Structure 1
């Protein structure tokens, strides 16, 4: 089965890339503030792992909310980085690219830590799998690390630090701000792994 990975360039999708070695990684630039850093990280990870890198660009910045966008968080936002229907959006965009490249499955870098968002839960990914598989192309959607937290995933993947260090987790900038939820998670995971992020 030909697999594609939705590769944001963050720690989780980077660990999955190393662990499962899909044929290619798809990075979606949907208008998020740190898009250039995510693209750079994903490109380097694909180079290191000899994977094809596919970039999808669709400027949806006017739909954004919170840290990832230039707009304040909406009142319904469960956290500062929440962007309405983001996972549904990027999965849909990546799925089109995956089919165009002959993939039968799209891997998603979601982990147990993501369950604070409705679109980070196992039920959401099962629903997306059902929705995609019933359409032309029959693409399957799978979140192979959904029952692991980020630290467990990285340990299971056995990814070397020289590859993991390319990951970009900041929600606000192309340079790590050190303050957002993405930067804090990145730092905490590194401490749990026994690596000082400084």
Structure 2
């Protein structure tokens, strides 16, 4: 896996940054690639709202440990999207068991979430002079969410660019890679120090659990997000051992 080229070094990017592993990988990727990078987060009543607290710690640690990135890291923005939580009936916004639904999707799927996130992000990007939106959507290791698919985001990119009458690029650096490859990407971008930052400071667990620390980070260890993160980390270590 090669590092991203520097061809876009004059452009400004806005990263959809939740404070989780994937969005942290995307933030590092954008900081390596673009001249200026801002972040945006969303408070929509998610059960794992603790991720919003982790965001600032991750930003602070990235800037401190990687000064070249810190020089590019601009403002952070958090939008109140409580309305999304009010109209969603999901296990991410209500205290209920996580399970599969009759339509084949897990009940952690929040309909329209990424569509709304990117639309609001594009509006802010327009005002802030950014022409690139970066998100951690992925259709390799994911739960089948239709708004994480590449064709969904390509269609939205066209709609946003037309609606704003200005080119708006949606970048998804994790779209076609596995969770093991995501760990490999962050190591390639920032070495073992960046992976340790991901382990210690980011949050993925759907239940908001940060009392148990595992080799791959904090979480309950049993929700789909924790299981995927753990499996990815084990796969990453296996790849390292195979290459040693």
CA distance in structure 2 between the partners assigned to 1:172 and 1:64 by the alignment: 17
68-77 or 134-143, larger mean C-alpha shift: 68-77
Q: 1:30 aligns with which of 44, 53, 57?
A: 44
Is 2:127 the partner of 1:100? Answer: yes
CA distance in structure 2 between the partners assigned to 1:13 and 1:155 by the alignment: 15
CA distance in structure 2 between the partners assigned to 1:98 and 1:81 by the alignment: 28
- Runs in 1 of length 4+ with deviation above 6 angstroms? none
Q: 1:180 aligns with which of 223, 234, 244?
A: 223
Aligned length: 194
Correspondence for 1:43:
56
Is 2:160 the partner of 1:151? Answer: no
- Give unmatched runs, 5+ long, in structure 2: 1-10, 63-69, 211-218, 239-244
CA distance in structure 1 between the partners assigned to 2:233 and 2:104 by the alignment: 27
Is 2:170 the partner of 1:141? Answer: yes
- Give unmatched runs, 5+ long, in structure 1: none
TM-aligned CA distance change 1:40 to 1:71, over 3 Å:
closer
> Which has more radius of gyration?
2
SS in 1 for 2:79: strand
TM-aligned CA distance change 1:167 to 1:118, over 3 Å:
same
Correspondence for 2:22:
12
Report if the CA contact (8 A) 1:125-1:142 is conserved: no
Correspondence for 1:129:
157
Report if the CA contact (8 A) 2:134-2:171 is conserved: yes
44-53 or 182-191, larger mean C-alpha shift: 44-53
Q: What TM-score comes out, normalization by structure 2 length?
A: 0.71
Q: What TM-score comes out, normalization by structure 1 length?
A: 0.86
Higher relative contact order (CA 8 A, sep 6+): 1
CA distance in structure 2 between the partners assigned to 1:137 and 1:83 by the alignment: 29
SS in 2 for 1:141: strand
What is the CA-CA distance between 1:78 and the residue it aligns to?
A: 0.5
RMSD over aligned Cα atoms: 2.3
CA distance in structure 1 between the partners assigned to 2:105 and 2:91 by the alignment: 12
What is the CA-CA distance between 1:132 and the residue it aligns to?
A: 0.9
